[in-house]
Amino acid sequence: MVVSAYTLRGNTGDWEVVVGLEVHAQVTSNAKLFSGAATEFGAEPNTQVSLVDAAMPGMLPVPNRECIRQAVRTGMAIDAQINTWSRFDRKNYFYADLPQGYQISQLYHPLVGEGAIDISLDEKNPDASGKRIGVERIHVEQDAGKLMHDQHPTRSYVDLNRSGVALMEIVSKPDLASPAEAGAYLRKLRAILRYVGSCDGNMEEGSMRADVNVSVRRPGEPLGTRTETKNVNSVRFVMAVVEQEAKRQIEVIEDGGKIVQETRLYDPDRNETRSMRSKEDAHDYRYFPDPDLLPLELDQAFLDECRASLPELPDAKRARYEALGVTPYHAAVLTAEVENARWFDSLLETGAKPVAAANWVTSELFGALNRLGKDIGSSPITPDGAAELLALVADGTLSGSLAKQVFEIMLETGQGAGAVVEERGLKQTSDTGEIEKVIANVMAANADKVADYRGGKDKLFGFFVGQTMKAMGGKANPGVVNDLLKTALG
Amino acid sequence: MTELTNLGVAAIRDGVREGTFSAREVAEAFNANVAKAKVLNAFLVETPDHALAAADAADAARAAGETPKPLAGVPIGMKDLFCTKGVPSTAASLILEGFTPPYESTVSGKLWDAGAGMLGKLNMDQFAMGSSNETSAFGNVISPWRRNDGGNAALAPGGSSGGSSAAIAARLCPAATGTDTGGSIRQPAAFVGISGIKPTYGRCSRWGVVAFASSLDQAGPMARDVRDCAIMLEAMSGFDPKDATSLDLAVPKWEAGLSGDLRGKRIGIPKEYRVDNMPAEIDALWQQGIAWAKDAGAEIVEVSLPHTKYALPAYYIIAPAEASSNLARYDGVRYGLRDLPEGAGLQDMYAATRAAGFGPEVKRRIMIGTYVLSAGFYDAYFTQASKVRALIARDFDRAWEQCDLLLTPTAPSAAFALGEKSADPIAMYLNDVFTVPSSLAGLPAMSVPGGLDSNGLPLGLQIIGKALDEQGVLNAGLALEERAGFTARAEAWW
């Protein structure tokens, strides 16, 4: 299954792009991976640093169980192999953002092995063919601190607030073949993380960032030399990196040059990647098992607890909605963000009819929120409030157009649907006698059109519906109006 | 009351409990001895007030009729590898000169909780790397012992816990903490005629102890006899949630369990410990130790630890590898020395700081460690050494099928003169040949004094036990101690 045959045309022919992503996702936890220090975003520099994080002499790391639990749950959510025996390694290199002089990571025995994520190129269009992207591994590691050494002639400025924060490094296989696939993968991964609750997926705050590995090749040829563009912090930028880096590489090769395996960074202002450091000073990281830590051994009870705590995941939720009759499109829209799906689930729990509810949420509610610049979390309408409104539609109290009016008033006033209907008399009427009277008046006032209709101008039917509804202030039951008009017009 | 400094831990504890003398008298007596013995260079920092405060607290508690704490009234020396709150802790290095930790290591904290007071921070080999105390950045410790040849050669007190060994032997403290990575408690204990035990890896928390080689480092006590070691070890041991390698086990009552009766015990004599060029005197002492063990009722069996000869090379790969990583944190950024040459960048600052802050032996081990961990050599050295380590541990496991304890010499020679081996690192490393295998296997091991060599210098015997069998080790140590009747001590010349 190939989502798209994405190729780039160079001067000498077509090129394929091969992409792999290493996503660093900050684990949602109150404390760092190996210390009790807090992990809150945006705190004053060096206010969330324990003696361990500052690598004071004699300080030792102690694994934070919650961070391990979150990584295991994430692995389970992508159907990955969970390694019941894993081990932390030290990755040694000198840099002042790394107070210990090494990062505690996992190289030889990661916590999570192979898994996969299903993507669809057009997430809103379930008919588009899907693709399964392999995940090589997820390992747990510490984040580094922030370092500035160009702020003062003789001093280094170091902020260790992030130092030691738990990260999951989620490494994809080089299965992505276009900017769109890279974007779809990242969005899907982000959705899964947020469903699981293991990472808030907030790319602006750096909770999630990607290293983008890109290479190009002629169709059918072996993999080319790749470059790694570090710390890309939005889906849009990741897609841009794939495109720009692929174009750059093609140009270099077609000009007779060679791609150097190197680390690059992305400059969003110029929309280009730049070399960060060359191969010559590439680090020899000197990995070895961390002697301060025993291997991690997970027992069955822990694994069972992790699995039992997993929520319904996006794909399963989407399938469930579709089984309830919700259109694939609506199901896709409703499950793309976990908060939306949770809101919709609450609405379903009230007994709301799934199809009508899905229609209403995706069009009316999302439209209104969009207009108001709000997200579902700050929606002025609660699922119970929506349920009340939908029930009034279902029992015929409100027509579609009345429901829209009522909804607008609810947004403005915060009143419940029933109260709005009562107070403003916006109830739909199905009183055939009243409607028949109005129809008679409309027909009398438009005798010429009645004649035209009866003479074969079928399209005029809508005109009579409109006139009748208008005369009734929009409150007539449209179905009843239709039926009565058909009879009256013969 | 000059005799107070001749008392050991148990005698001081009991005397203070019984009111024979006050804790303050004890502290004052040892403080005075410390002040007089500066020429030995055993203490890097003297903390007489700490000792006095603990003593006064002990005296006050006694006056109030409170249950005495296990070490109430006992002043001790603290190896400078232990971080002590508010007291400079340098691991005898320039790079940490002036560093005063705002925290207390778990082990030192436990000792203060047990009522002990601190006489000061003891000199040592820099970052615990060395076997002679010559790698201290603040000058070597001089052993209180002298050869009986009429010469005045200054002798090594052993290492790395050389300040601890010298201070106890010179009666500057009744007991001290040590740390043992490859023999750093046992070898210096043997060199000065005292006892020292390295417990099972994980018994004593490493939290707050400046790391040398994390998978090997283990704190332990050094004292004048086996009972005192047992008392100290009880106070130092115990689970610490702040150390992920700490053993979550209750601490046995080792002192109460002491017995020199070895009937029913099988003591193994590993044939591979009979190394080339071993001095006849060492071998003779070993035979004597075997005779004492038999006398105490033990059955002697010859056992084989076939991978012994690979222990030292494996150790000198693993320990430097871990050290090179553990010492990376001393970079001039957050604390300690910072050497910033004119116009230097970050990398230059690192280089200058580390060049100035580390001594030659530390640098040598950082270089070795960095080399054996680097990508192209990792498998050839570190992986191989790790396999050897596993084989050595298996050797011990097999030996335990035949015996309960092992008896060996502690060191291949008596104390050597300062400067005698410092030019030859390999010769220096060979000092650890008998102590390293049990370190690699994480087993409890102890050195007790066995006798004197022809130069009148102490020689030690080593007992190695199964994991967690500190009691067995201490009991065998006691059996040997009772029979050796070792009373020799260094004449005070300082």
- How does DSSP assign A145-198, residue by residue? -EEE-SSSSS--EEE-SSTT-EEEEEEE-S-B-SHHHHHHHHHHHHHHHHHHTS
CA distance readout (Å), B14 to B72, B74, B255: 9, 10, 14
Nearest to A286 among B327, B331, B373 (CB): B373
Does the CA dihedral B186-B205-B369-B397 come out positive or negative?
Answer: positive
* Residues in A touching B340 (Cβ below 8 Å): 154
CB B216 within 8 A of CB B182: yes
A62 in reach of chain B (CB within 8 A):
yes
Block means of pLDDT (10 residues each) for chain B, 494 residues, are 86 97 98 97 98 98 97 98 98 97 98 98 98 96 95 94 98 98 98 98 98 98 98 98 98 98 98 88 96 98 97 97 97 90 83 96 97 94 98 98 98 94 84 95 98 97 98 98 96 92
Which listed residue (B108, B131, B160, B439) is catalytic?
Answer: B160
A56 in reach of chain B (CB within 8 A):
yes
- DSSP label at B175? E
**Whether residue B184 lies in the annotated active site:** yes
**Whether residue B79 lies in the annotated active site:** yes
Nearest to B243 among A55, A60, A288 (CB): A60
pTM equals 0.91
Distance CA A334, CA A345 (A): 10
Distance CA A427, CA A439 (A): 19
The pLDDT of residue A2? 45
Distance CA A278, CA B111 (A): 53
Distance CA B333, CA A98 (A): 10
Nearest to A293 among B96, B244, B322 (CB): B244
* Residues in A touching B126 (Cβ below 8 Å): none
Interface of B with A in 258-277 (CB under 8 A): none
Nearest to B328 among A51, A92, A288 (CB): A92
Interface of B with A in 179-238 (CB under 8 A): 206-211, 213-215
* Residues in B touching A149 (Cβ below 8 Å): 345-346
Please classify residue B234 by burial: count the beta carbons closer than 10 Å to its beta carbon, then call 0-12 exposed, 13-18 middle and 19+ buried.
Answer: buried
In B330-410, which residue ranges form alpha helices assigned H by DSSP? Answer: 346-357, 360-373, 378, 384-399
**Whether residue B253 lies in the annotated active site:** no
- Tokens 């091969």 label which residue? A18
Of the candidates A139, A166, A144, A167, the residue with the CA atom closest to the CA atom of residue A55: A144
Distance CA A429, CA B195 (A): 101
Distance CA A16, CA A121 (A): 17
CB B329 within 8 A of CB B366: no
Interface of B with A in 90-149 (CB under 8 A): 91, 96, 99, 101-103, 105
The pLDDT of residue A4? 53
In B194-236, which residue ranges form alpha helices assigned H by DSSP? Answer: 226-236
- Residue B45 pairs with which residues in a beta bridge? B121
Question: Between chains, do A54 and B334 touch, taking CB under 8 Å as contact?
Answer: yes
CB A235 within 8 A of CB A191: no
The pLDDT of residue B276? 80
Interface test with B, best of A33, A46, A60 (most B CBs within 10 A): A60
What residues in chain A have per-residue pLDDT under 50? 1-3, 279-280
- Residue A277 pairs with which residues in a beta bridge? A263
* Residues in A touching B350 (Cβ below 8 Å): 94
The pLDDT of residue B340? 84
Distance CA A337, CA A366 (A): 12
Cα of B208 vs its chain's centroid, Å: 16
Amino acid identity, position B324 = S
Which listed residue (B22, B143, B161, B184) is catalytic?
Answer: B184
Distance CA B243, CA B215 (A): 12
B331 in reach of chain A (CB within 8 A):
yes
CB B359 within 8 A of CB B137: yes
Nearest to A60 among B99, B242, B334 (CB): B242
Closest residue, chain A, to B344 (C-alpha): A154
Closest residue, chain A, to B106 (C-alpha): A58
Reply yes or no: is the peptide bond before residue A86 cis, omega within 30 of 0: no
Nearest to B210 among A57, A90, A156 (CB): A57
The pLDDT of residue A198? 97
Q: Which residues contact A152 (CB under 8 A, 6 or more apart)?
A: none
Write the ipTM: 0.95
Does the CA dihedral B439-B440-B444-B449 come out positive or negative?
Answer: negative
Amino acid identity, position A418 = G
Question: Between chains, do B333 and A99 touch, taking CB under 8 Å as contact?
Answer: yes
B387 in reach of chain A (CB within 8 A):
no
A150 in reach of chain B (CB within 8 A):
no
Question: Between chains, do A94 and B347 touch, taking CB under 8 Å as contact?
Answer: yes
Interface test with A, best of B333, B377, B382, B387 (most A CBs within 10 A): B333
How do A157-159 and A102-105 pair as beta strands? unpaired
Q: Which long-range contacts (CB under 8 A, 24 or more apart) does B326-329 make?
A: B326/B211, B326/B212, B326/B213, B326/B214, B327/A101, B327/B127, B327/B358, B327/B362, B327/B366, B328/A92, B328/A94, B328/A100, B328/A101, B328/A102, B329/A55, B329/A57, B329/A99, B329/A100, B329/A101
The pLDDT of residue A280? 46
* Residues in B touching A58 (Cβ below 8 Å): 82-83, 101, 105, 206-211
The pLDDT of residue A422? 84
Interface test with B, best of A56, A68, A149 (most B CBs within 10 A): A56
Count chain A–chain B contacts defined by CB atoms under 8 A: 106
From A275's Cα to the closest Cα of chain B, the distance in A is 20
Token pair for residue B97? 């000169």
The pLDDT of residue A398? 84
Q: How many CB atoms lie within 10 A of CB A147?
A: 18
CB B480 within 8 A of CB B195: no
